[in-house]
Amino acid sequence: MSEETIKLQPREPFTPELTNVLHSPKRVRVKFGGETIADSRETLILRSNQFLPTYFFPASSVRRQALTSERVGSQPRHGGKSLHWDLHVGGRVEKDAAWSFVEVDDPLLGALKAYVAFRWNAADQWFEEDEEIFVHPRDPYARIDTIQSSSHVQVWRDGDIIADSRRPVLLFETHLPTRFYLPPEDIRMDLLIASANVSRCPYKGIASYWSERTASGMSGKDIAWSYLDPLPDIPKIKGLIAFYPEAVDEIRLDGRRVS
């Protein structure tokens, strides 16, 4: 189980889909096979509240000799015609790793024609300026606020209170539900066991997981996560623990059920 989802979902079902193309002021680089295959400060970013952002590079900033096996295809989400390539550097080949719009059904995407996009996991490394980024590009419209609170947060599981805190840190993230990060001292840690699972968030860093402790003392399914060493931008959640709403009976905020 992962805290992040690959498809972003608005919190309200009636929220309209918003998609746009923006100029990114950042220098963005892509590496594959030990070589830089794209490097530009003139990238465009396709972003939406319905899917993860994608970087598009001017064709002149892409090492074209690394793109092989050109073929015509399409992008199911956006429609229109597109060109697709494999990445070939040295002896390494990554199939269907790059693509470019040739024709688009949506006029809003016309600015992306002749730009090249790379499938995120096809590349070895991505950089914004000199910092390596992970999972996906950071959405310029996404915001994360972490706020210290005195609200009363309770977490219930199997009919019992397993966490009870009046000093949570509330994390508000664009398009996602509020997350409640609690001090371990306010949690029944005897009911949890550290999990071997980890994941990475481009905004928060590397997440560690907590599983429910079974009657035999073994690890069950993951029900909570924690950032032991979060990115410097969000230090307030360091070492705190948040629970999956779907993995517990309910989470209450000041006596009101919020999950």
pLDDT in tens, 126-160: 999 999 999 999 999 889 999 999 999 999 998 99
Q: Which residues, including other chains, have CB under 8 Å from residue 60's CB and lie 6 or more apart? A: none
Coil/strand/helix, residue 155:
strand
- Is a pLDDT exceeding 90 seen at residue 254? yes
* CATH level 2 (architecture), domain 19-133: Beta Complex (2.170)
What pLDDT, on the 0 to 100 scale, is given for residue 5? 37
- Is a pLDDT exceeding 60 seen at residue 8? no
Among candidate residues 124, 134, 140, 144, the one with its CA nearest the CA of residue 44: 140
* CATH level 2 (architecture), domain 144-257: Beta Complex (2.170)
- Distance set, CA 13 to CA 16, 31, 103 (Å): 8, 38, 31
| Full DSSP string of 114-147 | TEEEE-GGGSSEEEETTEEE-SSPPPTT--EEEE
Please give the structure tokens belonging to residue 109: 């995407």
Under 8 Å between Cβ of 190 and 169: no
What pLDDT, on the 0 to 100 scale, is given for residue 1? 36
- Averaged over 104-121, what is the pLDDT? 89
- Distance set, CA 41 to CA 28, 123, 128, 237 (Å): 6, 18, 10, 32
Position with higher pLDDT, 14 vs 202: 202
Under 8 Å between Cβ of 101 and 112: yes
From-to residues of CATH 2.170.150.40 in the chain:
19-133, 144-257
- Averaged over 166-179, what is the pLDDT? 93
Express as a percent the part of the chain with pLDDT over 70.
92
pLDDT in tens, 27-78: 999 999 999 999 999 999 999 888 889 999 999 999 999 999 999 987 767 7
- Averaged over 161-169, what is the pLDDT? 98
Gap between the Cα atoms of 241 and 106, Å rounded:
43
Query: Looking at the whole model, is its pTM more than 0.85?
Result: no
What pLDDT, on the 0 to 100 scale, is given for residue 19? 86
Q: What does the radius of gyration of the chain's CA atoms come to, in whole angstroms?
A: 21
Over the chain, what is the mean pLDDT?
90
